[in-house]
Amino acid sequence: MTNSSSLIGMPWQLAKSQLQAAHIPFKVIIGDNFNRFFEIASEGYYVARITESEDMLHIILYRPMVASDFGHTLEVMYAEETI
């Protein structure tokens, strides 16, 4: 592991194994998801934020949002001709 910022966005189980293999002390805080627009997954965590103190890393974890169907919507052509 080169730096702690490379763990941001990583699934927690993978990040945890890398930290343990590198013998880096850490403290975990599980954050509350305040997003009410997307559904929140009931399992798993991802690394959202890392702050470094003198003796350890403080890691904030969140549950991931469940993918919406936003990418599967149809585009609408608002203008058929160019003026």
Q: What would the pLDDT profile of 43-68 be if each residue is shown by its tens digit?
A: 889 999 999 988 999 999 998 888 75
| Cβ pair 31, 59 in contact under 8 A | no
Query: Degrees (nearest 5) of the Cα angle 28, 33, 39?
Result: 130
40 class by beta-carbon count within 10 Å (0-12 exposed, 13-18 middle, 19+ buried): middle
The residue-averaged pLDDT of 9-29 equals 94
**Cα 54-9-46 angle, rounded to 5 deg:** 90
pTM over 0.85: no
Q: How far is 67 from 14, CA to CA, in rounded Å?
A: 21
8 Å CB contact between 52 and 9: no
